[in-house]
Structure formats: C-alpha cells, structure tokens
Amino acid sequence: MKLETAFLRLLAFGETERRRLLRIITTQLRAGLPLGQIFQSLEEYGHSPAIRRLGRQSQRDQVETGLFTGHWDSSGLWPRRDALLLQVAERQGALPEVTEILEAGSSEKVSWWNVVGQPNMIWVGSALMTVAILLGTMSQADLIRQYSTEEPRALMYGAFVQQWGLPLLLSALSASATYLALRRHLDWPLRGIGLKAGLFLASDRLYAARSCRLLATLFGLGLSWSESMEIARKLEAGNPFHESVLRRAQSAINRGDGVAEALRFAHLLDLRYANYLRSLAPEGDTGSLCTGLPLVADLLELDVASALEDIRYFVTAASLAITGLIIFALLPLAFGEGLNLGGEP
C-alpha cells in the first residue's frame, strides 16, 4: 500500500495536478456550488484517474468522518501539511480561502533547488555531455594502451580514483546526512553557534516564513492562538526542532507576551523581523496580524533568496572548475599521443 501511494504521489498526482485541482475547487466554491456536488462531478468527469478516485474517496470520507477532506492526510496524494490545513478550513467553513492560498503559495517557492540547483543544471548537463563524448571516443584498445607505463598521467588518475573515489563519496554522503540530522535535532544554544557559522540559516528562515504564513491563515480562519499552535504542532510532528520552537512560543504567549515577542523568544524570528512585525501589528489584534505576518514572511523569503543567489554563483564557479579538471583528466585518455597538453613535442 505504501509503495502504491508513493507511486501515485510521484507520478499520478504531482504538484501541477494538485494546483489544477485546487483551482477547480476554488472556482466552483466561489460560484456557490456545494462540496458534495463538486466531488461528485470530480468523480464522474475528472480529467485523470487520480482525481476521479479522489472525488469518490472524498464522498466516502464525508459519510464516515463528516468531512470531505477527512482522510486526505493519509491518502498519499497530498502533502500532510496541506491536507491537515484543508481539514481545518472545512471545519471552519473557509475552504475557498485556504484552497486559494495553497494554490497561490505552491506556484512559486524559494528553495535551494529553485534558486541554486535548477539554474546550475545547465552546467551540470554540459559537463556530463562533454564527459560522455570524451568517453565515447575511447575504444577498448585505447584504454588498454593508455593504462600502461607509457602514460603515467593515466595511471595517476586511475590510481587516485581507485584509492580515494569511494572514501570521498562516502564522506560526502556522511557529511550530508549529519547536516540534515543536526538541522532537525540541534536546538539552542548550540544551534546559535551553527547559525553564526552560516549553517541552517536559509532553512530556518524559510521555516519562519512558512510558519508566519500558516499562523496568518489560521488566525484568518477565526482560530485562537492556542488552537493555532496545536494545529501547527500537528503539522510539524516528527521534526524535534520545529516542535520545540512552537512549544517555546506557546509558553511565551501563556505568560502574557505579545505575538512578536513570543516568536522572538522562540528563536523563530530574529530581532529585526520581530520589530518589523511589531510595527505592522502594534496592538497584536487578529486583523493586523493576518496582514503583518505574510509581509514578514515576504521579507524573510526575499532575504533568503538574496543569500542563495550569492551561493549560486559560487556553485557555478565550482561546477565549471570541476568540469575543467574532469575534461583535463580525460583528454589524454581520449586522444592519446594525438594530443599534447604542454609536454615536449
């Protein structure tokens, strides 16, 4: 069952499909159609098998749980965070507002992949194509001839890859796994040392921006602070650091702090962002918070995007340098004695 839902989520119901479905639901709800009629039409006329199954299952969920979105969090077709938020919106009678927010929020995201990884794919692709072309020029006879005492450079590269290739790969994978584990578990005050060293800064600020948008959405649904924090904790279940942040914010509110002070105390917002939120919502009322929190989230995402833009140029330079080294190593193997790279004629 888990394999099936993973396959559906990956292929049959991706991000584009979810946005399209959210747009359909939002448009029909704005037109005044009841949810039962909307999901019945999706079951009968949905443009993909995944949407038709979702329409059929949602009608069953309404009978069993009283909510059309009752089992969306376990269906595998939606991110758990979005599914739980849609359930809350349906209970509060504000489903059109939340579907519209989710549709707009998923259309463009600030992330490592969007800002750093995707723009550099052209360099990675070019490097792989170049290496493939060079390897394609080498016949088996050439390889046998090059890996001889007549080509010490080929022997040097071959010995290096054979001796250090696997240890370097394992070291890189171990470092990545350690970083991800620390990002999920490392808490203050040690996390503050990591932030001063530049670690976790982008991920923590992106989480702060996401939390600000979530709180603004929940406040807009008419929920109290305690109800909003309870829902936020459910959404962040499984991430120890995020759960500790929300607990600290809740304890600060319980002792009488304002929202900006509570988010500052929980290390969710730095002093600059907390002061900005305080200036936007000086009274701390729900209306001003619903307006101010998304503006703080925009500022956080803008700062992260600017920082990642700087990193992108370093990644581009490193990619070009590594590509040059690989090509320099493969050229003697590809052309043998037909190419002289600075040696004696």
Give the separation between CA 343 and CA 345, rounded to whole angstroms. Answer: 6
Nearest 5 degrees, angle CA 303-CA 121-CA 79?
65
pLDDT at 10: 45
| pTM tops 0.75 | no
DSSP string, 136-177: HT--HHHHHHHSSTT-HHHHHHHHHHHHHHHHHHHHHHHHHH
Question: What pLDDT score does 109 carry?
Answer: 67
The pLDDT assigned to 31 comes to: 84
Q: Alpha helices, DSSP H only, in 8-92?
A: 15-30, 35-45, 49-65, 80-92
What would the two tokens of residue 180 be? 């991800």
* Angstrom distance (rounded) from CA 259 to CA 296: 13
Q: What is the DSSP string of 125-138?
A: HHHHHHHHHHHHT-
Question: CA 293, 297, 302: angle at the middle one, nearest 5?
Answer: 150
Q: Are 90 and 69 in contact (CB under 8 A)?
A: yes
Q: What is the CATH number of domain 2-105?
A: 1.20.81.30
Q: Which residue has the tokens 């309404």?
A: 62
For the chain, 345 residues long, the average pLDDT of each consecutive 10-residue run is 45 67 84 86 79 84 83 73 83 81 65 69 73 59 48 58 76 84 79 75 85 86 82 79 86 85 89 89 79 89 83 79 72 54 49
H helices, E strands: number in the chain: 17, 0
What pLDDT sits at residue 66? 84
At 149 the pLDDT is 45
Measured CA to CA, the distance from residue 21 to residue 40 in angstroms comes to: 14
Q: Domain spans of the chain? A: 2-105, 116-336
Determine the pLDDT at residue 40: 87
